[in-house]
Amino acid sequence: MIGFANEAFGEYLTPSLSTVNQQTVVMGEEAAKLFFDIQRKGYAPGIPPQKLVLEPELICRQSSDRFGII
């Protein structure tokens, strides 16, 4: 079993829940930076929006540990 959001409680469940960390804090920080950049430079129609891809992180815990390795 695996979660998707890296909720804080997942580590404390029994068995602890493996999860995908979407980096929501970094996502919010980067969104704010992009927003303030647009505010500072101004919006110009026809200019493509900036694209930023944050790589998700797999956090393996007991819920996906079939062989007792973790």
Burial (0-12, 13-18, 19+ Cβ within 10 Å), 13: middle
24 within a domain of the structure (yes/no): yes
**Reported confidence tier of residue 70, pLDDT bands at 50, 70, 90:** low
- What's the alpha-carbon Rg for the chain, to the nearest Å? 18
35 within a domain of the structure (yes/no): yes
**Pairwise pLDDT comparison (69 vs 17), residue with the higher score:** 17
57 within a domain of the structure (yes/no): yes
Range of the domain at 7: 2-42+51-64
Place of tokens 């944050």: 54
Starting from the edge strand earliest in sequence, which strands make up the sheet with 2-4, in order? 2-4, 18-21, 57-59
27 within a domain of the structure (yes/no): yes
pTM exceeding 0.75: no
If one counts the domains in the chain, the total is: 1
- Digit-coded pLDDT (tens) for 31-60: 999 999 888 988 778 888 888 999 999 999
70 within a domain of the structure (yes/no): no
69 within a domain of the structure (yes/no): no
